[in-house]
Amino acid sequence: MRQGPAWEGGRTDLGFDVPVKQALALRHHTVMGWEHDEAAGGRAGYRVRGVVRRRTSVVGALVAVGVVAAACGSNKFTYLDNGTENTYIRVPTEWKVFTAEGGGSRPEAFPDSVESVWHVAFDANDQPSFENTQALDALPPTSVDKPVGQLQIFNVQGNFNQELSLTTARSTALGIDPLGVPDDVKDLVEIVSYTPIAQDGMQGSRVVYNLHNEGEDWQTVDATTLFDQSRNRFYVLRIGCTSECFKDHQDAISEIATSWKVVR
């Protein structure tokens, strides 16, 4: 039986063991998400500042192309499918799905060599909006009490592509690298679990971490960053909310992360 994290004070505790569910190679499919790996012992920290890291482009309508509601016997999930990029992910049908306009444009704060090719967002709030999902763009994330998420694919060229590493992928996508932060601010960021990825020419990691500003609520983020330098692709999946919310929706969040696939 799978064990979930222990929770105390509205956030994830550290130093416990969580069974590993490795990324699976299903013939020509590589799974981008999976269950929690062993929790990293100890803590990591970073001086967290309450500033917005970057904003995305203008929001379009609810995704109309490449979205299929499907499940065995009932419509439990919405599948978000990008045939051009050979990737798909599923989210609960109760969650609202949005797509960001401006494909082919350069995201703010990224160099000219980085081009956004696909950007979808999903929101479990009772009054969903794309703006809610932008809470993940702040550092630390703005407090939201229902899960929100974003999946982004970038075309990367030149030095940016050549210099991508596990560390730079996380710090670029998340604003910090939760695994490599100074000890003098260790009380502001906590590592819940970490799993490296290395398969079929793709590299990356999945990290679940808690962070906050002093005196503010803890937030928890489940983030997978992946890059394929041979195909000039950089992938980012982020799902998060307050730590209390994350505890309540942990299974749904993990199911979304483990459903993400890229067809090779």
Q: What pLDDT, on the 0 to 100 scale, is given for residue 75?
A: 77
- CA-to-CA distance for 60 and 241, rounded, in angstroms? 23
Mean pLDDT of 31-37: 33
Mean pLDDT score of the chain: 74
- CA-to-CA distance for 178 and 173, rounded, in angstroms? 11
Q: What pLDDT, on the 0 to 100 scale, is given for residue 185?
A: 73
Structure tokens at 40: 């990293």
Please determine, for residue 146, whether its predicted confidence score (pLDDT) is greater than 50.
Answer: yes
pLDDT in tens, 20-31: 222 222 223 333
Q: Are 223 and 237 in contact (CB under 8 A)?
A: yes
- CA-to-CA distance for 48 and 212, rounded, in angstroms? 7
User: Strand, helix or coil at 6?
Assistant: coil
Lowest mean pLDDT among 3-7, 14-18, 68-72: 14-18
pLDDT in tens, 249-258: 999 999 999 9
Strand partners, 91: 78
Q: What pLDDT, on the 0 to 100 scale, is given for residue 188?
A: 87
pLDDT in tens, 55-89: 433 344 333 335 554 444 457 899 998 999 989 99
Share of the chain above pLDDT 70, in %: 67
**Model pTM score:** 0.74
Q: What pLDDT, on the 0 to 100 scale, is given for residue 101?
A: 64
Q: What pLDDT, on the 0 to 100 scale, is given for residue 4?
A: 34
Closest Cα to residue 175, out of 160, 161, 189?
A: 189
pLDDT in tens, 90-122: 999 999 999 886 555 555 556 668 888 999 999
Q: What pLDDT, on the 0 to 100 scale, is given for residue 149?
A: 97
Mean pLDDT of 138-148: 88
